[in-house]
Amino acid sequence: MIKKTVIIFLFVVAAQFSLSAQNLKTLFSDAEKQTTVLLKEVQNTQSAFTADVKNNKKAEIVSPRTLTPDGKLSMVAAKDWTSGFFPGELWFLYEYTHKKEWMEQAVTFSAKIENEKLNATTHDIGFKIYCSYGNGYRLIKNPAYRDVIIQSAKTLSKRFNSKIGCIRSWDHNTDKWAYPVIIDNMMNLELLFEATRFSGDSSFYKIAFSHAMTTMKNHFRSDYRSFHVVDYDTLTGKVIKKTTHQGFSNESAWARGQAWGLYGYTMCYRETKNKAFLNQAEKIANFILKNPNLPKDLVPYWDFNAPGIPNEPRDVSAASVMASAFYELSLYSSQGKYYRTVADKIRTSLSSGYRSAIGENKGFLLIHSTGSKPMNSEVDVPLNYADYYYLEALLRSKKLDEKKPLF
């Protein structure tokens, strides 16, 4: 009887795994179809833009970002902070399918943003280069990609102020901030950690560690709500003020900011094994998951304190980042099984209720993201970084099912 029960149990487990694998196969097949649509839209948009570039000397557009209010494809130049996500998506498609055509597309679109390795005017070089060239090196081990990553880390390091202990985020709005550091900047630290491994130069590691520690000290309230922007005095290194730029208010919890923190500190624990970072990630997770304004499907409103909840836009991009982060956090935390369940639920919610129908939305994968509600910019639209972290979450789920390393 016991033997029969065990056999039945194993059969059920195997069936569940098979169903999960089949579902994943369908999701990636649909992602391929959608991305094929998007590539055609990109080609058409670039062709129409070429004459305008020559006439008006505009920067070349290289990556699809979102849709305009009238439903047209919006593409960006290499300098845009989102330019690396689409090449990263292409690398993810290659990783899952092993199809040469996706690798070739990934190589082509990555090459369009290589010069950003020298752009010291932005902290987002990590988003741009690591999401593209970082994934590329991981998959095909092209030594030239490693050189791009090392040079990018050198460039990013120029924005570090040792007095403050952080990398400067923005150079604009100098009338508002002296030395702004945003929670998003946690996501750019992975580039520095990788560059240390590649080069043996520990200065990159030290900068990343310092930034993470300083941000942990100054960006979070006692309940682990994150401020979006912390402004520093460059002479004393002290905090001047704590504000928001994309959240509802200075005291609110901007959903994507919480996601950046969750992902960033989980990654920092992986890279340093410093338990303070793991604890920080778990505390941020606790704030998110116990928040009374978190919807049952775990896809958050754009801000946890938005005044019109439940009649506020969701932010699928925040949910995608959270799903990917929870998959990784499940590897390190004593609550790993719980976090894995949470990640699975978010993934299921996104896959069942927030995907574009094949052929719609110019080929973007997900809908209902919010870029910046206060500026009424990119509200309830597809966004390339939502798609990027969604595919990353799907791949992480697959690797965990197969008991393979995530990295």
| Catalytic residue IDs | 124, 184
DSSP category for residue 355: B
Least Cα distance to 64 among 50, 91, 44 occurs for 44
For residue 5 the two structure tokens come to 């029960």
Q: Is residue 207 a contact partner of residue 218, using CB atoms and an 8 Å limit? A: no
Between CA 19 and CA 13 the distance in angstroms is: 10
Between CA 210 and CA 162 the distance in angstroms is: 9
Could you tell me which residues come within 8 angstroms of residue 396 by beta carbon, excluding any fewer than 6 positions away? 324, 327, 328, 343, 406
Strands (E), 125-207: 160-161, 166-167, 180-182
Between CA 218 and CA 239 the distance in angstroms is: 8
Between CA 340 and CA 336 the distance in angstroms is: 6
SS3 call for 254: strand
Helix locations, 273-334, DSSP H: 275-289, 316-332
b/e code 126-151 from CB counts within 10 Å (16+ = b):
bbbbbbbbbbbbebeeeeebbebbbb
Could you tell me which residues come within 8 angstroms of residue 277 by beta carbon, excluding any fewer than 6 positions away? 212, 216, 265, 266, 268, 269
Could you tell me which residues come within 8 angstroms of residue 186 by beta carbon, excluding any fewer than 6 positions away? 211, 212, 215, 260, 261, 263, 264, 265, 267, 268
Strands (E), 222-303: 229-232, 239-243
Between CA 124 and CA 159 the distance in angstroms is: 11
Single-letter residue type at 107 = V
Single-letter residue type at 50 = T
- 17's enclosing H/E stretch is helix 2-56
Between CA 180 and CA 244 the distance in angstroms is: 11
